[in-house]
Structure formats: C-alpha cells, structure tokens
C-alpha cells in the first residue's frame, strides 16, 4: 500500500475518533443538568480557552432555579420513584375540586415555569399536583434521558395521586412532559381520565433534530450521531424511543395542542401522534400564532376556552 494512502487513512481515522469524542461530549452535556454551584450564576460569561472548550466539547448546564411565585396556598414535598429518585412536588388544593390535574414541564424547565397553567387549572376548579422531573428543579439526579426514564416519574406522580387524591385524574404535559406522558401510559398502563398534550415530540431522534434546528445546526448527520451517543451514555437504544407509537396505548379522551410556528416539533410529528392515538374521543387544536412556547401565555383566550371546554366536557 502506498505510504500516502496509509497516511491518509491514519488522518481520517484520527479525525473520526476526535469527531466522535466531540459528539459524545456534547451529547453528555445535552442530557445532564447540574446543581448551581454556590456563588455561581447561570449567566456566567466564558472567556478565552473556556469559551472555545465549551463550544467544542460542551459545558455544564445548571438546573433552572425554582421560583415560588404561585401566590396560592400549597404544599411542597417529595415523591419517591421506583428507581430511587426523589421528585420535588407542589400540591395546590382546591375546595370542592372537580378533579386533580398533574402537571409535567419541558426539557430544562421545572414546575415553576408552568405557574400560569397551574393557576389557570386551579381557577377552573381543579386541584393541581406539579412535579419536577429527575435532574430538574429541586428533584434529585443529574441525568435526563429525554423521557425514557422520566416515564417512571410520571408513574410515581400518578400513583401518588391515586393514593391521596380523587378522580378524575388528568395528566397535562408540555414538550418533554407531553411525550413522557405518552411513554408512561404505554409502559405502565396508566389509566388517567383525560390527558392534555402540548407539543410532544414524535421520536427521540426527532427531538434531537428539533433542538439542532433551534441552534441553526444541520440535523444530519449530527442528529443521529447525538442520538446514538446520548442513548449509549444513558444505557438504552435511543432510536427505539418513540412516543408517537406509544400513543396507540391511549384510550382516554385526549386534547393535543401544537403551535403552527413551532420550529422544534414538526406538524408531521404532531399528525402522526394524533393518528396513532387509540382514543375515540380525541381533538387536535393548532395555535396559528405560536411556536414552541407556552400556548396559554401566547394565545390566552384560545387556550382558556379550548382547555376549559375539554375539561368540562362530560364523557
């Protein structure tokens, strides 16, 4: 073999190894959230080599701080999962409650990010149980599996609600929270009375592609690469995580909501989920002015009417 060809092969191999190290490191930081160190800020500015290192290999992402601005009487406690995590939760009681709504936030968020929704549900007559997923808010853990293990968090919250509160029990989730509800219903055969899903992703690879689009990065081949390494580091085959298929296990009434301007979750993903829902009582509502955000805060009148009509509807 000519020396130049052998050298070229070595260079290409070295490049491939280095590139995989970079992708694996980025995947690690994409799926981990760390407690904010004392005297540190989530807005810390990086300079020099630290900035370049963060751009190339990624950098620690800190858990968003829970800001308790509910201004409603509530209890704060923890719920244990079957794999040893402690989930921080709020319970917002309501006299003569019409039922109990469990609230699940999105990737990188926490229960205080959905305070407007929690207060809206309370005003509609429901008591609310809001939970921080593992590795988020005030819950334990640092690793986020983008819904794979978080399904156990939904189960833990649902089981807790069954033991302590009364039906109807309704599950509400946004983005990661919505996708995880679908997975939990299939994996654990949960039986909520209704569910409200806002902007769930269809598959984990599609979720990664959506994240890349928000960063103006090419979805291929980066999407599959990050999916592979993220799943490998978390100990599962990420390509098989498909909430859109789990939708076939849903038989209760469903309200599926999506923003037409959403650059993260596509209309095709949303249509696939809706088509796969086994429920005979399902409704999909599109918010023309909204992207991947709080639909309540962006189109409040439409959200309030749509959600209240769905909740008050007798089935």
Domain span at residue 149 reads 75-207+236-312
Answer whether residue 266 is part of any domain: yes
State how many domains the chain has.
1
122 within domain boundaries: yes
Q: How far is CA 162 from CA 83, 109, 168, 315, in A?
A: 19, 25, 10, 20
Handedness of CA 177, 307, 100, 186 (dihedral sign): negative
CATH of the domain at 298: 3.40.50.1820
pLDDT at 45: 56
DSSP E strands, 175-279: 194-198, 254-259
pLDDT, tens digit (0-9, with 9 covering 90-100), for 83-107: 999 999 999 999 999 999 999 999 9
Residue 32 lies in a domain: no
Q: Beta 254-259 vs 100-104: how paired, if at all?
A: unpaired
More confident residue, 135 or 18: 135
Whole-number pLDDT of residue 140: 97
**What sign does the CA torsion over 299, 180, 155, 192 have?**
positive
196 found inside a domain: yes
pLDDT greater at residue 113 or residue 10: 113
Position 186 in a domain: yes
> Residue 242 half-sphere exposure, CB side, CA atoms within 13 Å?
9
- Is 99 inside any structural domain? yes
pLDDT score recorded for residue 14: 82
**What does the pLDDT look like over 241-250, one tens digit per residue?**
999 999 999 9
pLDDT digits (tens, 9 = 90+) for 181-218: 999 999 999 999 999 999 999 999 999 999 999 888 88
Which segment of 35-49, 116-130, 284-298 scores lowest on mean pLDDT?
A: 35-49
CB neighbours of 39 closer than 8 A, spacing ≥ 6?
A: none
Distance CA 281, CA 235 (A): 36
Q: What local confidence, expressed as pLDDT, does residue 21 receive? A: 86
Query: So what's the pLDDT on residue 54?
Result: 60
Which pLDDT band, with edges at 50, 70 and 90, does 53 fall under? low
End-to-end, the C-alpha distance of the chain in Å comes to 74
Does 240 map to a domain?
Answer: yes
Mean pLDDT of the chain: 92
Please report the pLDDT score of residue 94 as a whole number. Answer: 96
**Average pLDDT for residues 295-312, to the nearest whole number?**
98
pLDDT (tens digit per residue) in 218-264: 888 889 989 999 999 999 999 999 999 999 999 999 999 999 999 99
Kindly state whether residue 219 falls inside one of the protein's structural domains: no
Strands 194-198 and 282-287: unpaired
């Amino acid at each position: 073999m000519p020396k130049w060809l052998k050298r070229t092969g070595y260079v290409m191999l070295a490049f491939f190894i280095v590139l995989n190290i970079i992708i694996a490191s980025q995947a690690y930081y994409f799926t981990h959230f760390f407690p904010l160190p004392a005297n540190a800020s989530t807005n810390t500015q990086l300079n020099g080599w630290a900035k370049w290192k963060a751009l190339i290999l990624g950098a620690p992402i800190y858990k968003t701080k829970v800001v308790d601005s509910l201004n409603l009487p509530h209890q704060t406690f923890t719920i244990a999962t079957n794999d040893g995590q402690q989930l921080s939760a709020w319970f917002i009681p309501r006299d003569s409650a019409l039922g109990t709504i469990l609230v699940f936030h999105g990737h990188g968020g926490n229960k205080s990010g959905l305070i407007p929704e929690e207060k809206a549900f309370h005003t509609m007559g429901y008591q609310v149980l809001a939970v921080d997923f593992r590795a988020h808010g005030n819950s334990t853990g640092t690793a986020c599996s983008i819904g794979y293990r978080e399904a156990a968090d939904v189960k833990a919250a649902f089981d807790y609600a069954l033991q302590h509160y009364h039906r109807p029990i309704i599950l509400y989730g946004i983005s990661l929270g919505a996708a995880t509800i679908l997975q939990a219903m299939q994996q654990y055969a949960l039986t909520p009375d209704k569910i409200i899903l806002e902007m769930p992703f269809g598959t984990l690879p599609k979720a990664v592609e959506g994240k890349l689009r928000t960063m103006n990065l090419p979805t291929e081949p980066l999407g599959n690469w990050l999916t592979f390494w993220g799943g490998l580091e978390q100990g599962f085959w990420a390509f098989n995580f498909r909430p859109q298929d789990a939708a076939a296990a849903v038989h209760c009434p469903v309200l599926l909501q999506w923003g037409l301007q959403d650059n993260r979750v596509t209309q095709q993903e949303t249509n696939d989920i809706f088509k796969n829902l086994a429920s005979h009582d399902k409704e999909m509502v599109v918010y023309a002015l909204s992207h991947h955000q709080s639909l309540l805060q962006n189109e409040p009148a439409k959200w309030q009417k749509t959600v209240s009509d769905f909740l008050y509807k007798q089935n």
